[in-house]
A and B are shown apart, each in its own frame.
Chain A
Amino acid sequence: MVSSRTLRALGITLAVAIIGAVAASAATSASNATVIRIWADNDRKAAVQKVAGEWAASKGVEVEVVLKDFGRIRDDLKTVAVENAPDVIVGAHDWTGQLAADGLVQPIFPSKAVRAKIPTYALNAFSYGIASKRLYGAPVALENLGLIVNKNLTRIPKTFAQLQAYALAFQKKSADNIGLAVPQGANGDAYHMYPFFSGLCGYVFGTNKAGNLDPSDIGLSDPAFLKNVGQVNTWNKAGFLNSKVDYGIARDAFLTKRTAAFWITGPWEADSLKKAGGAGLKYTIVPFPKNACASVPFLGVQGFMVTKYATDHGVESLAKDLVGNYMLGADAQVALAAANGRFPANVDAGKQVKDPVLKLFGRAGVGGVPMPNIPQMGAVWSELGGAWVKATKGADATPARVAFVTAARNIANKIG
């Protein structure tokens, strides 16, 4: 039945297949030097490669930096196969709770000397645990919002009342003007609204006796906040805050059209600000003026974490040395900050920052609150943002008290 021609063809097929397979396996099996695999995003890949590479050379190992979309680093870590998994990841502090609850990252214990150079709040930002906290990441860079002032159009406000008065005065000059450009949009933006929220004495989660975040203490319906929340209705009526302004509109109005007196944004816009500064925009970045309470922004802390896979790959001590020792040092942080456009966490490295825009953003973040890093925060973003949208959408807005109390109830329901 089977002809000789078929047999010959089969033989050729098999031969080619084996050659192909051998070539494929030869290509995949690299040298047998110890390799530390790091997942980093596009903004940081080159800097991480350079900084970690210097460390690796001194330890006689190699680093392999794998490019990942920032958000995918967190999500892919949950599904990655052991052989492809990273030993170290670049991450944001607010992932800490989720990743630790999943058992995917491991605690690090930097020496006292190293820890002394990092501000406590930055270490707290990467610490997680309801009963007792562990440090799960090495803080490397800080970011926060600042109040950007167009000095051609308005003056620098010293008090919250001045901020309102200047913004509204500018807004009244023309129908196209936006006094204060702070992004919300239909789905809200709790992050950009936080300075107003904290200024009214609001908070997201309280802390328990051990000093750790307590998801059952929700500050959106805290009496101290509700006492001040009526201000939001005034702001809405006056048009001081307007939820129809989204990120694109705010940015465009301040940077391009120059029809906004104030803008709220963070260091990711530093390059655009400098460019606009070159094109005639006279601006400065100031801390938010105090309202009923200190108006502080959310702090975002970025850093490195050691994954559980470092142990599986037999590089745990190396990974912990890289993250818990080397990356927390001033030299590494200066190099990373320069590449990354963020203020370094290490105080010695912070003193070496020369970039004026980064320095101003750093000052605007003093006293800021790290975004809660517990997984329950997932239930907060849309509700808190949504409450602001409803309370500041103009004529048919919901009274602020109702909006925030409802949001607090929904968050409690979702957390369960």
Chain B
Amino acid sequence: MTTVIATVTTTDLTAPNTTVRVPPPSLVSRLVGFFSGPVGLALKIGLLAVVNALAVWALSILAADGKWVAAAVLVAATIAIDVLYLVPRRAIPLKFLVPGTIFLVCFQLLPIAYTVGVAFTNWSTGHNLPKSEAITAIQRNTLAPPPDGAQYTMTPADDADGNLVLLLVDDETGVAYVGTEEGLTELSAGTTTVSGGAVTTAEGYTPLQGEELAGLDQQLSGFVVPTGEEDHFVRAEGLSVAIELEPTFRYDPAADTFTNVDTGTVYSDDGKGSYVSPAGEEIEPGWRTYVGLDNFRRIVDDPTVRDPFFRVFVWTVAYATLSVLFTFSLGLFLAIVLNLPGLRFQRLQRSLLVVPYAIPAFLMVLVWAGLLNDDFGIVNKVLGTDIPWLFDAEWAKVSALLVNLWLGFPYFFLVCTGALQAIPSELTEAARVDGATARQVFRRITLPLLLVAVAPLLIASFAFNFNNFGAIFLLTGGGPQAEDQSIAGATDILISYTYKLAFAAGKGQDYGLASAVSIIIFFIVGLISAISFSRSKALENLR
């Protein structure tokens, strides 16, 4: 099978009847010779040095973060790569396989593993941080100025011993204070100058400014001046303002609960990443945590997720199957027509047919969305029709297939043109001599031989269209709204439905649920591809 594909792709379109073009051997051997010498060695050492440099750099970051397992894997992998390429004439197949394997691991396996990991978490809007940070955030977000709380104009300063203090002027009363970690003390008016509402000089204190102050930021933002009233404190808010604050929720680390100071309601960890009151009220933010099979359960249990799933699945299969069928049929038909001997301007016609393939697909889809506009698009104007191409659920499906046909047929045209030329003409000629009609020749000889070469590409095309997010999203955005009025539109395929779940769910994003759905899609595509490949093996026996 592989040889056939190679023939297809290397066959020169402009030279029918030649099968495989062998590259001039002299060039290859010269290149091999060139890179075997000192130049090759220098190149190899240079590339390895770059790899090692990257590894050392990555190692410093991993070590700084204390990720020792990852660091060990990195060191082992780097040493293995160095050894592999520096030991001559050993393990030659590995030398070719390793780079591809590394990229496979980095760009295929790791994202899959990550997605699987996310699918078992509650990662969504409101569940983003680890628990410890969520507790800090709740404590920070629930501080509030008390109803009669004071506001001060602040001048951070050093006292005689070099300790940080806050020189404060109450904005209402104009009274000046010094705030320390012990509390507020009124400054005597005789030794203090207040100008522009702020303390400018005070005996025994040195105001801090500029870089000096910037360097103390961490100390300043953590600096808390108790006011004497229970739990109330004055805190810097920026560099020139301080305000009185009190906590409205209190955290109890021993019981792991939050208590509303006013109402006394206790909020406890519900095991799903939130502090929840007995009445079911949640405190935001929650945190990201493992929730087991919850996301998968939601796909089955939650009607807003489950109900559209089956409908979307059926349409996705139909969309992918019909797209492959249509693009392949049209591509094959045109390939046969343009393969007829004696056709004029064969080259030009072939080039023109490849045009849709040469223009970026995203651009073409957007252009089509404009062309198909019901009232203002050129399609309805030219046809003199009033077809709701994008506004009716069924017509929008037709539009999606038509646009995908336009985008996809040149690919199969190219592939089939190549494959047709690879079929030995003796076979078809022999069949003709034996009295077969043109139709019989096509059905019994050409098509089976063609399918041997093209079947894997049909499967690949199916898998591609199954997840053809761009073509759907840019043309219809999944719309229009379907009969069941669900989050999934009439033309949404599973992947665009997943996108909507992930980014336009009820409360913002829901990455956990979206990952769970994408795992299901992964298995569906994998299963269909596996079955198709095993059946396409049967075709090979024809050869």
Where the two chains meet, the residues of A that have a C-beta atom closer than 8 Å to any C-beta of B are 2-3, 6, 9-10, 12-14, 16-21, 24-25, 33-34, 58-61, 78, 97-98, 100-104, 106-113, 129, 132, 134, 186-188, 242-246, 248-249, 308, 311, 314-318, 320-322, 324-325, 375-376, 378-379, 381-382, 386, 389-390, 393-394, 396, 406, 409-410, 413-416
A residues near B391, Cβ cutoff 8 Å: 186, 243-244, 389, 393
Q: Which residues of B contact A318 (CB under 8 A)?
A: 214, 217, 239
Q: Is the interface of B mostly helix, strand, loop or mixed?
A: mixed
* Residues of chain B in range 224-280 having any CB-CB distance to chain A below 8 Å: 236-241, 243, 245, 248
Which residues of chain A are within 8 angstroms of B211 by Cβ–Cβ distance?
Answer: 33-34, 59-61
Chain A residues, CB < 8 A from B87: 2, 6
Q: Kindly state the separation between the CA atoms of A21 and B78 in the bound complex, as whole angstroms.
A: 14
Q: How far is the CB of A69 from chain B (nearest CB, A)?
A: 15
Q: Which of A20, A317, A390, A409 contacts B52 (CB 8 A)?
A: A20
Q: How far is the CA of A340 from the CA of B336 in the complex (A)?
A: 58
Q: Give bound CA distance, A107 to B137, whole Å.
A: 10
User: Which of B128, B212, B243, B284 contacts A109, CB < 8 Å?
Assistant: B243
Known: A13-B86, A110-B241. A59 touches B213 (CB 8 A): yes
Complex interface: chain B residues within 8 A of A61 (CB):
211, 214
Given contacts A103-B129, A107-B143, A244-B375, contact A378 B507 (CB under 8 A): yes
Whether A103 lies near B134 (C-beta < 8 A) is: yes
From DSSP, what is the main secondary structure of chain A's interface residues? helix
Known contacts A102-B129, A379-B505; A406/B214 CB under 8 A:
no
A-B contact count (CB 8 A): 241
A244, B374: Cβ atoms under 8 Å? yes
* Contact indicator A6/B86 (Cβ below 8 Å): yes
Check if B45 sits within 8 Å of A12, measured CB to CB.
Answer: yes
Q: How many residues of B contact A (CB 8 A)?
A: 86
- Residues of B with C-beta under 8 A to A317: 217, 220-221, 236-239
Contacts A24-B53, A325-B241, A375-B507; is A134 near B141 (CB within 8 Å)? Answer: yes
Contacts of B145 in A (CB 8 A): 109
Q: How far is the CB of B535 from chain A (nearest CB, A)?
A: 38
A102–B45 contact, CB under 8 A? no
Question: Are A381 and B504 in contact, with the CB atoms below 8 A?
Answer: yes
Residues on the B chain within 8 Å of A10, using CB: 82, 86
Say yes or no: is B50 at the interface (Cβ < 8 Å to chain A): yes
Q: A34-B215, A98-B125, A249-B376 are in contact. Are A379 and B506 (CB under 8 A)?
A: yes
A58 and chain B: residue at smallest CB distance: B210
Q: Which of B85-130 contact A (CB under 8 A)?
A: 86-88, 125-129
Let me know if B221 and A316 touch, CB within 8 A.
yes
- Closest A residue to B223 by CB, please name it: A317
A34→B479 contact, CB < 8 A: no
B214 & A13 in contact (Cβ 8 Å cutoff): no
Contacts of A34 in B (CB 8 A): 211, 214-215, 217
| Residue in B128, B140, B245 with the greatest tally of chain A CB atoms within 10 Å | B128
Please name the residue on chain A nearest to B396 by beta carbon: A186
List the B side residues contacting A244 at CB < 8 Å.
373-376, 391
Contact check, B88 vs A6: say whether CB atoms are below 8 A apart.
yes
A292 → B minimal CB distance (Å): 26
Which among B214, B238, B243 has the greatest number of chain A C-beta atoms within 10 A?
B238
Residue of B with least CB distance to A14? B52
A189 smallest CB distance to B (angstroms): 11
B476: Cβ under 8 A from any A Cβ? yes
Shortest distance between the CB of B386 and any CB in chain A (Å): 8
Are B49 and A13 closer than 8 Å at their CB atoms?
Answer: yes
B345 at the interface (CB under 8 A from A): no
- 6 additional A-B pairs beyond A60-B212, A110-B237, beta carbons within 8 Å, are A17-B56, A25-B57, A25-B60, A103-B141, A186-B476, A243-B391
- Nearest-CB distance from B375 to chain A (Å)? 4
Distance between Cα atoms of A360 and B248 in the complex (Å): 43
What are 25 A-B interface contacts by the 8 Å CB criterion?
Answer: A3-B88, A6-B88, A16-B45, A16-B49, A24-B57, A34-B211, A60-B210, A61-B214, A101-B284, A101-B507, A102-B126, A109-B245, A111-B171, A111-B237, A186-B390, A186-B480, A187-B477, A244-B375, A244-B376, A311-B221, A318-B214, A325-B239, A386-B480, A389-B479, A414-B506
Q: Does B292 contact A (CB under 8 A)?
A: no
Flag if B217 contacts A103 (CB, 8 Å).
Answer: no
Q: From residue B308, how far is it (CB to closest CB) to chain A in Å?
A: 11
Partner of A20, one of B50, B141, B284, B390: B50
**A10-B82, A244-B391, A379-B507 known; A101+B237 contact, CB < 8 A:** no
A2 partner residues in chain B, CB cutoff 8 A? 87
> Which residues of B approach A to under 8 Å, CB–CB?
41, 44-46, 48-57, 60, 82, 86-88, 125-129, 133-134, 137-138, 140-141, 143-145, 151, 153, 171, 210-215, 217-218, 220-221, 236-241, 243, 245, 248, 284-285, 303-304, 370, 373-376, 388, 390-392, 396, 476-481, 485-487, 489, 503-509
Q: Is the CB of B57 within 8 A of A21?
A: yes
Chain A nearest CB, measured from B72 CB (Å): 18
Return chain B residues, CB-CB under 8 Å to A316.
Answer: 217-218, 221
Q: Which of A101, A246, A308, A393 has the most CB of B within 10 A?
A: A101
Q: Does A389 lie within 8 Å of B217, measured CB to CB?
A: no
CA distance in complex: A406, B481 (Å)? 11
Known: A186-B479, A314-B218, A414-B487. A245 touches B45 (CB 8 A): no
- Cβ contacts under 8 Å, A78 to chain B: 128, 509
CA distance A314 to B141 in the complex (A): 18
Contact call B507/A376, Cβ cutoff below 8 A: yes
- Say whether B214 contacts A101, CB under 8 Å: no
Contact B86 A242, beta carbon cutoff 8 Å: no
- When C-beta atoms are compared, the residue in chain B nearest to A397 turns out to be B391
Q: Determine the distance from Cα of A12 to Cα of B38 in the docked complex, in whole angstroms.
A: 14
In the A-B complex, list the 7 residue pairs whose CB atoms are closest, starting with the nearest. A20-B53, A17-B52, A103-B137, A16-B49, A60-B211, A321-B238, A103-B285
B373 & A324 in contact (Cβ 8 Å cutoff): no
Distance of A187 Cα from B493 Cα, bound (Å): 16
For the complex, give the distance between the alpha carbons of A58 and B46 in Å: 47
What residues of chain B lie closer than 8 Å to A393, measured between beta carbons?
388, 391
The answer to whether A378 touches B505 (Cβ under 8 A) is yes
Give complex CA distance A378, B374 in Å. Answer: 28
Q: How far is the CA of A393 from the CA of B395 in the complex (A)?
A: 14
Give the residues in chain B near A106, CB-CB below 8 Å: 137, 140-141
Given contacts A321-B239, A375-B507, contact A413 B304 (CB under 8 A): yes
With A61-B211, A101-B285 as given contacts, are A325 and B507 in contact (CB-CB < 8 Å)? no
CA distance A378 to B508 in the complex (A): 5
Structural contact, B56 and A20, CB atoms closer than 8 A: yes
CB distance from A141 to the nearest CB of B (A): 21
* Residue pair A112, B217 in contact (C-beta under 8 Å): no
Measured in the bound complex, the distance between the Cα atoms of B376 and A249 in whole Å is 8
CA distance A34 to B210 in the complex (A): 11
With most chain B CB atoms within 10 A of its CB, the pick from A12, A20, A103, A242 is A103
Q: A2-B87, A20-B50, A111-B171 are in contact. Are A60 and B126 (CB under 8 A)?
A: no
| Contact of A9 with B86 in the complex, beta carbons under 8 Å | yes
Beta-carbon nearest neighbor of B55 in chain A: A17
Q: Are B141 and A107 in contact (CB under 8 A)?
A: yes
Contact B506 A21 (CB under 8 A): no
* Bound Cα distance A108, B151 (Å): 13
Interchain CA distance A321-B221 in the complex, whole Å: 11
- Cα distance A14–B504 in the bound complex, in angstroms: 50
Cβ-defined contact, B504 with A104, below 8 A: no
Question: Min CB distance, B139 to chain A, in Å?
Answer: 10
- Pairwise interchain contact B238-A389, C-beta atoms closer than 8 A: no
Instruction: Write out the residue numbers on chain A whose beta carbons fall within 8 Å of the beta carbon of B221.
Output: 311, 314, 316-317, 320
Q: A13 touching B508 by the CB < 8 A rule?
A: no
Q: A101-B284, A102-B126, A376-B507 are in contact. Are A107 and B240 (CB under 8 A)?
A: no
Q: Which of B86, B138, B303 has the most CB of A within 10 A?
A: B86
A242 to B388, CA, bound (A): 13
| A60–chain B nearest beta-carbon distance, Å | 3
B133 CB contacts on chain A under 8 angstroms: 103, 308
User: Once bound together, how far apart are the Cα atoms of A82 and B458, in whole Å?
Assistant: 45
